Structure 1
Amino acid sequence: MASDPSGLNGIETRPAPAVTFAARLAFEDVRHSYHGKETIRGISLTAEPGEVLCLLGPSGSGKTTLLRIAAGIEAQTGGRLLLNDQEIAGPATFLPPERRGIGLMFQDFALFPHMTILENVRFGLTDMAKPAALAEAMVALERVGLARYAQKYPHVLSGGEQQRVALARALAPRPAVLLMDEPFSGLDSRLKDSIRAETLTILRESRATAIVVTHDAEEAMRMGDRIALLRDGCLVQVGTSEELYLRPKDLFATAFFSEINEFHGRVRGNVVETPFGAVPTNGFSDGARVTVAVRLSGIRVHEAEGSIPARILARRFLGVVELLELAIPNTDQPLRARIRADQLPHGLRDVALSVNERDILVFEKDA
């Protein structure tokens, strides 16, 4: 039977998964160095039982290193790891990976080409007799809707199907915590949404605590109960997607979740002057240098006259939306805006702007 390209058609009804006893995994002041360079700088973070926690950040922020420390592949140089309040790695403790009850799903799926799908899933069930392990592996395959491919080999499967086999293999031992390193990066953009939603459903059913590494803010918002934003080995902010988007701690967090325009100025009389007017700066001392961030989505563009005249310098059609580059008075810096694609007639040059106050954020410039 040929595999469908998405890996989603014809999914069998999944059996009710065996309940995993989800665990709490806590990082306490965890540090890590590589060749004298500090890669993790005192991170304290807890993944609560049954939650999906996303580690988000750019390349080099320490996401994967933190995951490898949790799995026992890397040893931290300072701090402790606790699983349900029991130390599994610390100054005098280092539990090997196979004794932690923590599953790891690799970025490239790491399926063995010479083994059948069933044998791939059975691979991690080393503590069970072969008949019992095969039965458990088949249950895991049924859970992800791929039991019909049990005797096939990985090369006949699509990328989406291989991802689900890797998920079945990671869940087969019923880990208390499942670690997933960029699990959707190898999938084409057409499949990501559906495979991601299917994976989240399986995680919810299995009730395992999951830590998912990603560099994609939208993916983190779609999957995570909470998001931990990292930068240069430090924890910048942790919270729900709403908390990080609506109340970002700094300019870095703001820019990671939104496209922004940046303007710089000094506080005078509790306001900072910008090309689009005076912006309140409560909490900043007079004379403080600040950066004003304006989300592209918070800029409204009108055909009629308004308080902020503007001229369209360039417009880029992106399907549902258009990206505009605008010239406005009192600055040589172009302003970018993202609007609905059918909002403005073609050929229009002179427009007026207004800005949603909720999409203006002020931060100390040196920060």
Structure 2
Amino acid sequence: MIYEYSENTNNFRKEIIAFAQEYINPEAALRDQEARFDQSLWKKCAEIGLTSLSLPADFGGRGLSAYDTVLALEALGYGSEDPGLNFALAAQLLAVATPIAEFASPTQQENWLPKLISGDAIGGNAMTEESAGSDVFFMKTTAKLDKEAYLLNGTKTFCTNGQAANLVLTYALTAPEKGFFGGISAFVIDTDEQKTTWSEPSQKLGLRSCPLASINFSETSVPANQLIGKEGAGAHIFNHSMRWERTCLGAIHLGAMDRLLEQAVQFANQRFSGKGNLSSHQAVTHPLTNLKVELEGARLLTYHAARMLDAGEHKSHYAAMAKLSVSECYRKLCLQLMQLFAGQAYRTPHPVELQLRAALGATIYSGTSEIQRELIARQIGFRPRDAK
């Protein structure tokens, strides 16, 4: 193999899969139907380390590399049939806790990381705004320093973990005249201490067990010691968190696709139509073998992007390529499996329809597929300009 698993990593993967099958799966479909976030289950996930994979051991984390984090999340995706919970865990880890671990002061880390790691606090990422969409830096939320606190005003949409989150990492304009790099700052909001207003939970197509809501800041006073990094460093912090998220979050989709393919093979071998089983028909097997090739290519891109992240390589298009390839393969595989399972999968709940609804979101969050293609195009040298 090009990429090897250590014995410790392999044992941890087995532990994650067994945990998911015992604790996550029994009510996974019901939680999705009810759009229910289970806080007690979140605490159980924290107990085996799913909230702390890449976080420093000094604060109770497992201290895994990006590569080993990918392997652990891949195991979660394979074992867990709740894509909403999987997404919620990965989003907290990669878009909230990781930036705190890498950019916050030691005092800030001591205040927040143990709570996120233990599950006593739940992290939410609040960057996107209604008028900005995928162009996240085109924001309107402002933060003005008033003595020893910043006053935040604005609304963030699509806040992952929604009202369940009590530590929210958000971004606001502190010096609009400086532009995106230098004009945006990052803050951690403690919703138990700072005044905020949540919208009603969003009703979603998929990932229903992960709450999603808008958060409003209206003269919200945030102590200056809750600024992450230096003032103006927000764009850098966000971009770095997206490298982690685009590299690692897709690993849960890799694991889910492995499980779905196994289920598809078993179904095609056992289901008969006419004189033979479904596996006798190339119209069934060839599209899935093509997708298996795409899946393995996406896996290698993901592993490579993780290795580049561990090596400190700053070429962001590796993360973009990994995210693009995984999410597009995930969507295509689920659509193909709808054809294979046909009427069975069209009824809800069914493992394929549940994953299809989740897969449609995968090509949107963490930057749409179009955004990933644009990032890759710029990195490999395309430079648009108007004709003279």
TM-score range, shorter chain: under 0.3
Q: Which has the higher helix share?
A: 2
TM-score by length of 1: 0.25
Q: Which has the higher strand share?
A: 1
- Structure index of larger Rg: 1
TM-score by length of 2: 0.24
